[in-house]
Chain A
């Protein structure tokens, strides 16, 4: 099998699986949609955590921000947001089909761009910090967002916002948002495959392996860090916008900024699957989500305790994850691409031109 085919079969598999799944398992289409969301969570976390070495405990901030920004755009285009979210509202508000879809489209795009901008701002605060300080700082940002939005009357405070209703009924709604989430996850994976093959991927890995060395070699580390986080944030923002509309109701602590659930799932899924690889986070997301869905009902009442225990066990005993374990057992499967040129070493002397003087 030549190289291109070898590398594209997982994508074809996912494409086929993703497209037919809601028709094969209609009762589970919501759960599978959330699986795609989990893949987005894991893959975006891995950009910073696995590839760049910056472990964020606050990426959920961008998810929730995107959710709220999209809602504000969707509603605000046609109505007064403050009035819409006010608990004292008695008029029934209706969106026409055109209003709904243009609002959704515009809101999603704005959510993505705004989240990226927020990442740049957040970067000013925390990106110069290393290791645990960065982690705690990002956690602080996520918690602060949850707290501040909970007190912000204009967006409904702790009571949240009832989203505009999907015009064609609940069954088409499930399908519509399923495909939106699937498309987002698929686009993200294709994008990341390309991104990691460019200089950007190399730079991220260099920053992870030895940031000081990268600086000493003149790498624009700040530029790369900011851009990586902005990319993560953009995808998370769009995911939040879609998810908010899918659930039909958003509120700050449990849906938009759930710091101890989705926020932490991201990290666990990547650790489970293997940091710093393209497919590791996907594998981790699949394993984690499947186990969680299957056991949730059996662990009733205990599920979060079980979750905490799972985190601890994964960290202590299984840190390199599935991908890491596979790479150790079967190193040949993961050998890097063979060099374009084979045979003897290239000739020296004339081929190496003495370089001209100087800086510019």
Chain B
């Protein structure tokens, strides 16, 4: 308890630190927002709550890290991971997800959880349990006389995340496939009746989400670090974001992504790094408890 109070007093004593945490939170939150968008997409279109989301991200991160180890600039990891994860997403969709879409929701949840375990353990087997990060060899900006440090990689990560998110949003609005996806999300049967191949839409959406996770993972490797078992934390984090914002409300999802980034930075600073995972899980329970309270008020089941 004492060191928590101590940390809070540091924050109040040096307001500049708050700014540093805020900036950090926003920079990292951009990656959360990107990945949360993908999760909300799959959720809204196919009603699949992908518990392997965080592990797709880790996959993207390890691909990027491997590039770095082979003396390729890890910044290339973003497009490479995007493309590779698209393919992996396609395989996962064909083998597993397509067969559980029509079943009840717990089935798809458990199936993706199984996939998450396969990925986690494969990564552990291949790369070992140490945390890794990719070094792009970029400098670090110093502001406010050294109290705020901003690695340029984080800024680039932020820019890339925003750019990718914008690209996806534009694609969804203007392309035929994007429209088909939105139509299917609203009413799959009607979409089918109107001639949309919903099977293709589902496959595309899942691949797109996997690719987004790949790119986000590349950014995570550049900006933060990866470890085979960090995936679960990410999955829960993203689930909290999408649940709190409501999966249909995409601007809210993105905003919540940034919010989560900021919240974690402050929480991690005040409570200490070892409580970080506990914090996220408690936040999950908090969000669910709020939903439950809303249910009691409105007397509708939490769907």
Cβ of A201 < 8 Å from any Cβ of B?
Answer: no
CA distance A264 to B282 in the complex (A): 21
* Most central of A130, A132, A151, A301 by chain B CB within 10 Å: A132
CA distance A144 to B236 in the complex (A): 11
CA distance A17 to B292 in the complex (A): 46
Cβ of B67 < 8 Å from any Cβ of A?
Answer: no
As a 0/1 sequence over residues 270 to 298 of chain B, the CB contacts with chain A under 8 angstroms (1 = contact) are 00001101100110110011011001100
CA distance A260 to B285 in the complex (A): 19
Contact A135 B109, CB 8 Å, known A130-B303, A308-B114: yes
Closest to A307 in B: B117
CA distance A264 to B50 in the complex (A): 17
Are B288 and A140 within 8 A (Cβ)? yes
Q: How many residues of B contact A (CB 8 A)?
A: 45
CB distance from B36 to the nearest CB of A (A): 15
Residues in chain A near residue B292, CB distance under 8 A: 125-126, 128-129
CA distance A264 to B118 in the complex (A): 13
Residues in chain A near residue B124, CB distance under 8 A: 304
Among residues 243 to 285 in chain B, which have CB atoms less than 8 Å away from a CB atom of chain A?
Answer: 243, 274-275, 277-278, 281-282, 284-285
Residues in chain A near residue B147, CB distance under 8 A: none
Cβ of B222 < 8 Å from any Cβ of A?
Answer: no
Cβ of A79 < 8 Å from any Cβ of B?
Answer: no
Q: Which residue of the partner chain, among A57, A151, A301, A312, contacts B111 with CB atoms under 8 Å?
A: A312
CA distance A311 to B302 in the complex (A): 27
Cβ of A319 < 8 Å from any Cβ of B?
Answer: yes
Are A147 and B281 within 8 A (Cβ)? yes
Residues in chain B near residue A139, CB distance under 8 A: 236
As a 0/1 sequence over residues 121 to 133 of chain A, the CB contacts with chain B under 8 angstroms (1 = contact) are 0000110111111
Are A128 and B111 within 8 A (Cβ)? no
CA distance A260 to B235 in the complex (A): 14
CA distance A264 to B111 in the complex (A): 12
Contact A212 B301, CB 8 Å, known A125-B285, A143-B281: yes
Residues in chain A near residue B301, CB distance under 8 A: 130, 211-212
Closest to B115 in A: A312
Are B111 and A133 within 8 A (Cβ)? no
CA distance A260 to B113 in the complex (A): 9
Cβ of A137 < 8 Å from any Cβ of B?
Answer: yes
CA distance A130 to B106 in the complex (A): 10
Among residues 81 to 109 in chain B, which have CB atoms less than 8 Å away from a CB atom of chain A?
Answer: 96, 99-100, 103-107, 109
Q: Which residue of the partner chain, among B109, B114, B274, contacts A312 with CB atoms under 8 Å?
A: B114
Q: Which residue of the partner chain, among B125, B284, B295, contacts A136 with CB atoms under 8 Å?
A: B284
Are B113 and A131 within 8 A (Cβ)? no
Are B302 and A144 within 8 A (Cβ)? no
Residues in chain B near residue A301, CB distance under 8 A: 125
As a 0/1 sequence over residues 241 to 281 of chain A, the CB contacts with chain B under 8 angstroms (1 = contact) are 00000000000000000001000100100000000000000
Q: Which residue of the partner chain, among A55, A144, A304, contacts B117 with CB atoms under 8 Å?
A: A304
Among residues 221 to 242 in chain B, which have CB atoms less than 8 Å away from a CB atom of chain A?
Answer: 232, 236, 239
CA distance A279 to B103 in the complex (A): 24
Residues in chain B near residue A9, CB distance under 8 A: none
Contact A311 B125, CB 8 Å, known A126-B288, A136-B284: no
Residues in chain A near residue B114, CB distance under 8 A: 308-309, 311-312, 315
CB distance from A147 to the nearest CB of B (A): 4
Cβ of A94 < 8 Å from any Cβ of B?
Answer: no
Cβ of B136 < 8 Å from any Cβ of A?
Answer: no
CA distance A131 to B236 in the complex (A): 16
Closest to B100 in A: A316
Residues in chain B near residue A148, CB distance under 8 A: 278
Residues in chain B near residue A55, CB distance under 8 A: 106, 110
Closest to B49 in A: A132
Cβ of A305 < 8 Å from any Cβ of B?
Answer: yes
Cβ of A330 < 8 Å from any Cβ of B?
Answer: no
CA distance A136 to B53 in the complex (A): 14
Are B105 and A132 within 8 A (Cβ)? yes
CA distance A304 to B115 in the complex (A): 11
CA distance A125 to B99 in the complex (A): 32
CA distance A94 to B51 in the complex (A): 46
Are A133 and B278 within 8 A (Cβ)? no
Cβ of B135 < 8 Å from any Cβ of A?
Answer: no
Closest to B122 in A: A305
Cβ of B66 < 8 Å from any Cβ of A?
Answer: no
CA distance A139 to B114 in the complex (A): 14
Cβ of B7 < 8 Å from any Cβ of A?
Answer: no
Cβ of A141 < 8 Å from any Cβ of B?
Answer: yes
Residues in chain B near residue A308, CB distance under 8 A: 114-118, 121
Closest to B282 in A: A144
Cβ of A25 < 8 Å from any Cβ of B?
Answer: no
Q: Which residue of the partner chain, among A144, A260, A305, A309, contacts B125 with CB atoms under 8 Å?
A: A305
Contact A315 B281, CB 8 Å, known A136-B49, A302-B125, A305-B125: no
Q: Which residue of the partner chain, among B106, B120, B125, B277, contacts A147 with CB atoms under 8 Å?
A: B277
CA distance A317 to B107 in the complex (A): 11
Are B109 and A144 within 8 A (Cβ)? no
Are B100 and A315 within 8 A (Cβ)? yes
CA distance A312 to B112 in the complex (A): 8
CB distance from A219 to the nearest CB of B (A): 15
Among residues 200 to 227 in chain B, which have CB atoms less than 8 Å away from a CB atom of chain A?
Answer: none
Residues in chain A near residue B282, CB distance under 8 A: 144
Among residues 22 to 63 in chain A, which have CB atoms less than 8 Å away from a CB atom of chain B?
Answer: 55, 57
Q: Which residue of the partner chain, among A143, A151, A267, A304, contacts B236 with CB atoms under 8 Å?
A: A143
Between A and B, 6 residue pairs with Cβ closer than 8 Å are A133-B243, A135-B106, A136-B239, A143-B277, A308-B121, A311-B113
19 further interface pairs, Cβ-Cβ under 8 Å (given A128-B292, A132-B105, A305-B122): A128-B302, A129-B288, A129-B292, A129-B295, A131-B106, A131-B303, A133-B288, A135-B106, A135-B110, A137-B288, A141-B285, A143-B281, A302-B125, A304-B120, A304-B121, A304-B124, A309-B114, A315-B100, A319-B107
